[in-house]
């Protein structure tokens, strides 16, 4: 067997981008992915987004331990088990994050990952179809588009946000995130434009990528240097060697699991499971973060919502039009307008995000409200709660233990109450008078702090943005797992490139910063950091006053 220069575990958002850039530079890559093909309408049709994340064929099927602050509920933690990883099962929403997210990373020890450092990679990765802007990319592999906003409720939501006192933002991924405006998506020519479509397929055309379908068991080492990856393939254990380096891009759930199975992690925990300690890194699995959200739902006074299509015949017609023409409602994820606001004047940049949807339904598609309705997904962006990924067993076939410890910090409750009350203010605006009927959820009777807290406890759901479990920081930071070059501290020849490395969760959905991580990781590996054309400095936009 020929030995590839690099072995990457995980054909997801970062792994595909990384494979593309390494092969573009002339290197050979072996990409290990446990999941199978992403071909088929459930993944490729944007409107079908609720299906793949509930299909064992495409999803790892993880769930949390009972969450003590959410009434002991176990929350689903979907992760893509398919070519393209979670970019093949996500909601396709494209949010870079706020400038201050990345400046915070840099200030916390991730030198070289401030906003000015990551902006060139955000630009390099995208072809933006929203016009021309010095902030946006024009010829990258990832197509970023906006929905048509044909449904009148999309513009009503944007207008109501302005009537409630917040600004309009023409491009929340550009100069100024704060405000209400059109939402962007990784959708192109009516199809989900996943990392597999954008990066992996072009990389495979070079002939320098070997894609292996197998379960990664652990990283192999010789004298403290990573030499390859032990896998299970067709029931047999074998080792895939790496001539240069091994890179873990297996998700913020599976990457820390693999590190621990390989002997890198909290020494006491590894010994409990009989794993020989190669590097005592207590930060492996720690610092687990996510976004929680609730769905605030209203009855619609007019039959303009998607409810007309939310039946067997309607879905069939939408699917048929998409299959034949790649047009119609099937081409949209239906998240076409959004908002980013601050919960109070004391907050210096947005800490609440809105996804508006012209249908009252669960995100997993399992239940729709009877009759016409609409909803907004809302939640705080920077929870102070932290959880942990740990091992249930030294058996690679066993899932890890996932404990987010959601809502364990008192500030989370204050911020979430603000989400509920500010949302009501938005829907009370004149723009919604022709449309808004009764509040379905939480319901008009839920008013006091205690009543709102009970609603959150019973109804908050994950937005499926786990990250932070192999935190990037200074090499001498005992809690850091990787240094700013993404090299795992304490060993040689091993890096991590996925959302595990985020020191703190970013403002918004995580697919864009995960792909950026893969893009930037390639330049670290290739020794090209600082070689992108000098960007003009981008001064931050003046922050709007919260109203």
Q: Which residues contact residue 92 at a Cβ distance below 8 angstroms, ignoring those fewer than 6 apart? A: 46, 49, 185, 186, 187, 192, 193, 333, 335, 511
What is the predicted pLDDT for the residue at 541? 58
What is the predicted pLDDT for the residue at 370? 87
Q: Taken in order 204, 210, 214, 219, is the CA torsion positive or negative?
A: negative
How would you write the pLDDT of the chain (547 residues) with one tens digit per residue? 689 999 999 999 999 999 999 999 999 999 999 999 999 999 999 999 999 999 999 999 999 999 999 999 999 999 999 999 999 999 999 999 999 999 999 999 999 999 999 999 999 999 999 999 999 999 999 999 999 999 999 999 999 999 999 999 999 999 999 999 999 999 999 999 999 999 999 999 999 999 999 999 999 999 999 999 999 999 999 999 999 999 999 999 999 999 999 999 999 999 999 999 999 999 999 999 999 999 999 999 999 999 999 999 999 999 999 999 999 999 999 999 999 999 988 999 999 999 999 999 986 777 778 899 999 999 999 999 999 999 999 999 999 999 999 999 999 999 999 999 999 999 999 999 999 999 999 999 999 999 999 999 999 999 999 999 999 999 999 999 999 999 999 999 999 999 999 999 999 999 999 999 999 999 999 999 887 765 556 666 555 544 4
Report the DSSP beta bridge partners of residue 76.
63
Residues of the binding site for FAD: 82, 90-93
- Cis peptide preceding 214, ω within 30 of 0: no
Report the DSSP beta bridge partners of residue 211.
31
Q: Which residues contact residue 519 at a Cβ distance below 8 angstroms, ignoring those fewer than 6 apart? A: 17, 18, 21, 121, 124, 125
Which is the catalytic residue, given 222, 465, 524, 544?
465
Q: What gap in Å lies between CA 122 and CA 233, rounded to an integer?
A: 35
What is the predicted pLDDT for the residue at 543? 55
CB distance 497 to 517 below 8 Å: yes
Provide CATH code, domain 148-182+292-380+408-459.
3.30.410.40
Predicted TM-score (pTM) of the model is: 0.97
What is the predicted pLDDT for the residue at 546? 46
CB distance 493 to 7 below 8 Å: no
What is the predicted pLDDT for the residue at 537? 60
Q: What gap in Å lies between CA 116 and CA 135, rounded to an integer?
A: 11
**Number of Cβ atoms within 10 Å of the Cβ of 486:** 24
Q: Which residues contact residue 358 at a Cβ distance below 8 angstroms, ignoring those fewer than 6 apart? A: 151, 153, 154, 304, 305, 306, 334, 374
Q: Would residue 465 show up in a list of annotated catalytic residues for this protein?
A: yes
Q: What is the DSSP string of 106-151?
A: HHTT-TT-SHHHHHHHHHHHEEE-S---TTS-BS-SEEEEE----S
Q: How far is CA 340 from CA 185, 419, 482, in A?
A: 16, 11, 31
Q: Longest Cα pair distance anywhere in the chain, in angstroms?
A: 70
Q: Which residues contact residue 384 at a Cβ distance below 8 angstroms, ignoring those fewer than 6 apart? A: 409, 411, 412
């Amino acid at each position: 067997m020929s030995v590839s220069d690099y072995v990457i575990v995980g054909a997801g958002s970062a792994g595909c981008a990384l494979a593309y850039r390494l092969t573009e530079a002339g290197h050979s890559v072996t990409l290990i992915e446990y999941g199978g093909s992403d071909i088929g309408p459930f993944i490729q049709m944007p409107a079908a987004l609720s299906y793949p994340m509930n299909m064992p064929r495409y999803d790892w099927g993880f769930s949390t331990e009972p969450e003590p602050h959410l009434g002991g509920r176990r929350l689903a933690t979907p992760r893509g088990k398919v070519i393209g990883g979670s970019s093949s099962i996500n909601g396709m929403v494209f949010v870079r994050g706020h400038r201050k997210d990345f400046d915070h990373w840099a200030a916390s020890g991730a030198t070289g990952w401030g906003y000015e450092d990551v902006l060139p990679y955000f630009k390099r990765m995208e072809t933006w179809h929203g016009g021309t802007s010095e902030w946006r990319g024009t010829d990258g592999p990832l197509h970023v588009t906006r929905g048509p906003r044909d449904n009148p409720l999309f513009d009503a939501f944007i207008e109501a946000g302005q009537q409630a006192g917040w600004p309009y933002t023409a491009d929340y991924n550009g100069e100024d995130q704060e405000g209400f405006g059109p939402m962007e998506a990784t959708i192109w020519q009516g199809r989900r434009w996943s990392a597999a479509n954008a990066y992996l397929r072009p990389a495979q055309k070079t002939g320098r990528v070997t894609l292996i379908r197998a379960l990664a068991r652990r990283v192999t080492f010789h004298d403290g240097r990573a030499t390859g990856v032990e896998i299970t393939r067709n029931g047999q254990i074998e080792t895939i060697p790496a001539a240069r380096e091994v890179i873990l891009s297996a998700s913020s759930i599976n990457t820390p699991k693999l590190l621990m199975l390989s002997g890198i992690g909290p020494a006491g925990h590894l010994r409990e499971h009989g794993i020989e300690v190669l590097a005592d890194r207590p930060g492996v699995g720690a610092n687990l973060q996510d976004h929680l959200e609730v769905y605030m739902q209203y009855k619609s006074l007019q039959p303009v919502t998607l409810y007309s299509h939310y039946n067997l015949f309607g879905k069939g017609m939408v699917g048929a039009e998409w299959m034949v023409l790649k047009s119609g409602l099937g081409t949209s994820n239906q998240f076409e307008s959004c908002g980013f606001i601050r919960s109070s004047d004391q907050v210096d940049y947005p800490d609440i995000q809105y996804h508006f949807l012209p249908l009252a339904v669960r995100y997993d598609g399992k239940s729709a409200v009877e009759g016409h309705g609409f909803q907004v997904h809302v939640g705080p962006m920077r929870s102070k709660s932290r959880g942990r990924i740990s091992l249930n067993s030294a058996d690679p076939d066993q899932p890890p233990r996932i404990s987010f410890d959601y809502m364990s910090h008192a500030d989370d409750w204050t911020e979430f109450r603000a989400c509920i009350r500010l949302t009501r203010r938005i829907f009370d605006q004149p723009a919604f008078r022709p449309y808004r009927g009764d509040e379905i959820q939480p319901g008009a009777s839920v008013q006091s702090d205690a009543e709102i807290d009970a609603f959150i406890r019973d109804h908050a759901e994950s937005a499926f943005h786990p990250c932070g479990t192999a935190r990037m920081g200074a090499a001498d930071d005992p809690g850091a797992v990787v240094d700013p070059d993404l090299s795992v501290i304490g060993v040689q020849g091993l890096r991590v490139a996925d959302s595990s490395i985020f020191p703190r969760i970013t403002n918004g959905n995580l697919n864009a910063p995960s792909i950026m991580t893969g893009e930037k990781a390639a330049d670290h590996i290739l020794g090209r950091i600082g070689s992108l054309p000098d960007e003009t400095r981008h001064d931050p936009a003046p922050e709007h006053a919260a109203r």
